[in-house]
Structure 1
Amino acid sequence: MTNTVPKILIVGGGYAGFYTAWKLEKHLRKGEADVTIVDPLPYMTYQPFLPEVAAGSIEARHSVVALRRHLKKTHVVAAKVTGINHANKIATITPIAGDPYEFEYDQIVVTAGAVSRTFPIPGIADNAIGLKTIEEAVAIRDRLMSNFDKAATLPPGPERDRLLTVVVVGGGFAGIEVFAELRSLASSLVKSYPELTFDDTHFHLVEAMGRIMPEVSLKTSEWVLKNLAQRGAAVHLDTQVTGAIDGNIELSTGETIPSDLIIWTAGVMANPTVVRGGDLPVEERGRIQTRADLRVGTAEDVVEGAWAAGDVSAVPDLSGGGVGGYCVPNAQHAVRQAKLLAKNLVAVLRGEEPREYFHKNMGAVAGLGLWVGVFQSGNIALKGWIAWLAHRGYHGLAMPTWERKWRVLWGWWNNFWLGRDMVNLSTVQNPRYVFEEFAARPRPAAPAIDPKSVAGDKAPVAGAKPEKAEKAPTEKATAGATG
């Protein structure tokens, strides 16, 4: 018997993808549709926690949500969607193991998110690291801690300064948060290294615009600048990075900053693998053209059976607060769009009309290290520890699933009494190094000897006495030689 159940394919398991699948499981009736979510990673990353993961304030595993644990009715596929032929409703899926194959669908939901947007600046691709994944956040933390260990063994000088210098490129929320959190981490680390002082650490943030954090008021952003300056951090406004070869950060002002840790947060772009690998309409900034009801298309033309949400989509901001008339790429929009998308998709399957997405920005909140934060909602601005509590309260509640909420809250509670976890696990990048160092290896085989050449070398010479035959080694001697 032919299976007539509609197939829904969700491309990407990040914010929007996870929430879409999660809510579809709630709204769909049993047997009403078959849902498949495709992502090379088996978890959703709660990206607002990445700066705190980098600072060791949150356990890395607690800031991600396992897809298979919380999506009980959804088929989870560890793979990438490398092609979308929506004209024939066929997607090309490339699994993390095995050969690519084609997947037929009836409805496709594109929620592939965004990746770091960089420029062809010499040295950036080779020496910098982004802050879009949990792996990057962990690597940043371990690199800074490893650099402290190395610097503590060196005398004062250029090499030690380079190891203890952090450069963050980009003064948006992500850049400021990781910059401030790492400054807080470094201040804590210094107390455990008698060989180092606070003045040995150097923090620089480079921003091409004339201000930081455009999401908050100018007055609030100026308070953040003042707070960072009081904590020994330098912010370079109206400045661009022109080079980063061999870890030497060259600025448009002519200054050069040697650093072993360069963090790039200067913008994002829609996932190019998905956008360029399909036939769905794309707007001028490289995002999938999306209607206010979250169906792909324009106000006049609908691409039937195609939906999009989150950072990969260009969704009109009906509140009037967006950039260029579209919703900005942030968690607030991604989560809310996904929830409505699930409802709208179910409505269309049942022959009902979808609703348009409308969300007015509630404000912005940022953590700037332990006990320091900022909060902005309209004309209301909070600063200091009250804003820091608001930051943790908001994101603690926004973390999906109670299982994850409790893990994060429990970690914060433990840290309150026990202090920040300072364990450095940088060697996890090469977990076999000890085993490889001491593992026994077979000896190289002895070179083969040609019998003819041996016979020629041993040919008797006239008048010479014959040589005595060598005794064959005993079994015991042989075993001892090879054992």
Structure 2
Amino acid sequence: MPKILIVGGGYAGFYTAWKLEKWLRPGEAEVTVVDPLPYMTYQPFLPEVAAGSIEPRHAVVSQRRHLKKTNVVTAKVTRIDHASKTATITPEVGEPWEFEYDVIVVTGGAVSRTFPIPGIAENAVGLKSIEEAVYIRDRVLTNFDKASTLPPGPERERLLTFVVVGGGFAGIEAFAELRSFASALLEYYPQLTFDETHFHLIEAMGRIMPEVSLETSHWVIKHLAQRGAEIHLDTQLSSAVDGKIELSTGETFETDLIVWTAGVMANPAIVRSSDLPVEERGRVLTRADLRVGDEDDFVPDAWAAGDIAAVPDLSGGGVGGYCVPNAQHAVRQGKLMAKNIVAVLRGEEPKEYFHKNLGAVAGLGIGSGVFQSGKLALTGLIAWFAHRGYHGLAMPSWERKFRVFWGWWNNFWLGRDIVSLSAVQQPRASFEEFAARPKPPAAAAPAPAVTSGKPAPKAVKAKAAPAGAKAAEAKADAQPVAAK
């Protein structure tokens, strides 16, 4: 039975395995998914997780629960040798081993792309994983707790200043959701005022959200400005050492939270450790039918999709002629790739991937959003409903859909949960602080001193008093003392 190895369990990998389970006949192939995380993250929900609008576990999909016919391996693929059709799998605990496969599917996704700006590696956080979103939410809540106990001044201002770098869809959604979150928190912190909270978005280009029209992007800027947020266009971040922001415009201020959303790159840990062809931007060279290769030739039994793959955009709307790295493409590519793999196994020809972008939708905080489809643009509440409706229904499995919609419904009546669980980053700290520890062993008694070569004198034992004397002494003690 052919062995299909899927490297990466994100959008493309998860949907490929999910649909292979549906379309493969019993015994037709054995499917294995290898990913260091046991779940798929629905990344469009990360801004809402960071703003406390969605519970973190509701924004992820368990691989073992929903891939019931697939072998799920929680580990890393550290080497792909397609010439010999072997992959090195390295678990977190234990020794690496060689996995022999017949068909490989590379869907390792992307990671945050950063630049060598002083202080970014040490102080910033990305927004590509559920863990990062939870960290951002807890940091905002913890900063409000700290600031409420401080008098007005530089330290309080630093705790209430938040920076997002990158004005694409991910950056704007995170920026707007955090602004909405902070405004809602002020109800519970009477010591703080709206004017004390500062939000800065830094964008090197002259506009934000290139996926929407220029007019719509201007509406977003104006809308956020009315909510007390500041967007710096044509501005570069020069330094962020110790949280001190220095901009190319000369402006400086201090912050305690920097969120980096300025671009992604194909997962280098997978791309650089394989013998598959790679294009100039570091992505796996992929054909329109999702087989690895170029227009003239392909690598047999090798497939790729998602953010790690350079898939030609046949609709003509892609940047540089390739599909942009987003969830919309990754999901559809994963579904088609499953069909194409089954077709090739049965001796049929694969189909080419073609998807014309129908529009873009973004949430800008509770009750506000933006939607763009061609020349049609919607803003405000109706666009916010479109955003939630689209992504809520796009969440894989009805089990996950129900959890997300149920959470939104609860929040509508009960409000967002504002409990910070930052202590989970060091869960044993309190236990260690008060845990009893063994006492150090007692020091040994010093040896007796020896003088002039003579042994030390023996201790003299006191003689016990006769029994009669003891009785008389006790009787005398019992007599009252006479006055003299």
Amino acid at match of 1:233: A
Give structure 2 stretches of 5+ with no counterpart.
463-484
Q: How many equivalent residue pairs?
A: 462
Q: Does 1:383 align with 2:374?
A: no
Task: Give the CA deviation at 1:290.
Answer: 0.2
Aligned to 1:478: none
Q: Does 1:71 align with 2:86?
A: no
Which of 217, 233, 236 is equivalent to 2:213?
217
Please give the alpha-carbon distance, in whole angstroms, between the structure 1 residues aligned to 2:283 and 2:246: 32
Please give the alpha-carbon distance, in whole angstroms, between the structure 2 residues aligned to 1:132 and 1:384: 26
Task: Give the CA deviation at 1:249.
Answer: 1.3
Aligned to 2:12: 16
Please give the alpha-carbon distance, in whole angstroms, between the structure 1 residues aligned to 2:276 and 2:417: 46
Which of 272, 292, 299 is equivalent to 2:288?
292
Please give the alpha-carbon distance, in whole angstroms, between the structure 2 residues aligned to 1:380 and 1:358: 23
Which of 226, 243, 249 is equivalent to 2:245?
249
Q: Residues 460 and 466 of structure 1 are in contact (CA less than 8 Å); yes or no, is this contact kept in structure 2?
A: no
Please give the alpha-carbon distance, in whole angstroms, between the structure 2 residues aligned to 1:246 and 1:252: 18
Aligned to 1:459: 450
Please give the alpha-carbon distance, in whole angstroms, between the structure 2 residues aligned to 1:93 and 1:358: 33
Which of 385, 409, 412 is equivalent to 2:408?
412
Aligned to 1:52: 48
Please give the alpha-carbon distance, in whole angstroms, between the structure 2 residues aligned to 1:469 and 1:196: 79
Task: Give the CA deviation at 1:407.
Answer: 0.3
CA-based RMSD of the aligned residues comes to 1.8
Please give the alpha-carbon distance, in whole angstroms, between the structure 2 residues aligned to 1:44 and 1:448: 60
Task: Give the CA deviation at 1:228.
Answer: 0.6
Amino acid at match of 2:264: V
Please give the alpha-carbon distance, in whole angstroms, between the structure 2 residues aligned to 1:257 and 1:332: 37
Which of 81, 92, 96 is equivalent to 1:96?
92
Which of 136, 142, 146 is equivalent to 1:146?
142
Q: Does 1:278 align with 2:274?
A: yes
Q: Residues 270 and 311 of structure 1 are in contact (CA less than 8 Å); yes or no, is this contact kept in structure 2?
A: yes
Amino acid at match of 1:20: T
- SS for the counterpart of 2:321 is coil
- SS for the counterpart of 2:320 is coil
Amino acid at match of 2:405: L
Q: After superposition, what is the alpha-carbon deviation per residue over 1:74-133, rounded to whole angstroms, capped at 9, x for unaligned?
A: 000000111100011111111121111110101000000000000111110110000000
Which of 112, 116, 128 is equivalent to 1:116?
112
Aligned to 2:470: none
Q: Residues 170 and 265 of structure 1 are in contact (CA less than 8 Å); yes or no, is this contact kept in structure 2?
A: yes
Q: After superposition, what is the alpha-carbon deviation per residue over 1:171-212, rounded to whole angstroms, capped at 9, x for unaligned?
A: 000000000000000001111011111111110000000000
Please give the alpha-carbon distance, in whole angstroms, between the structure 2 residues aligned to 1:134 and 1:59: 10
TM-score by length of 2: 0.93
- SS for the counterpart of 2:175 is helix
Aligned to 1:477: none
- SS for the counterpart of 1:235 is strand
Q: Residues 282 and 289 of structure 1 are in contact (CA less than 8 Å); yes or no, is this contact kept in structure 2?
A: yes
Aligned to 2:363: 367
- SS for the counterpart of 1:411 is helix
Decide which structure has the larger Cα Rg and report it. 2
Please give the alpha-carbon distance, in whole angstroms, between the structure 2 residues aligned to 1:447 and 1:134: 52
Please give the alpha-carbon distance, in whole angstroms, between the structure 2 residues aligned to 1:403 and 1:181: 25
Which of 405, 418, 424 is equivalent to 1:428?
424
Task: Give the CA deviation at 1:446.
Answer: 2.9
Amino acid at match of 1:459: V
Q: After superposition, what is the alpha-carbon deviation per residue over 1:250-300, rounded to whole angstroms, capped at 9, x for unaligned?
A: 111111121110000000000000000000000010000000000000010
Which of 207, 228, 235 is equivalent to 1:232?
228
- SS for the counterpart of 1:226 is helix
Q: Residues 247 and 260 of structure 1 are in contact (CA less than 8 Å); yes or no, is this contact kept in structure 2?
A: yes
Which of 24, 30, 50 is equivalent to 2:26?
30
- SS for the counterpart of 1:423 is coil
Task: Give the CA deviation at 1:460.
Answer: 4.6
Give structure 1 stretches of 5+ with no counterpart.
472-483
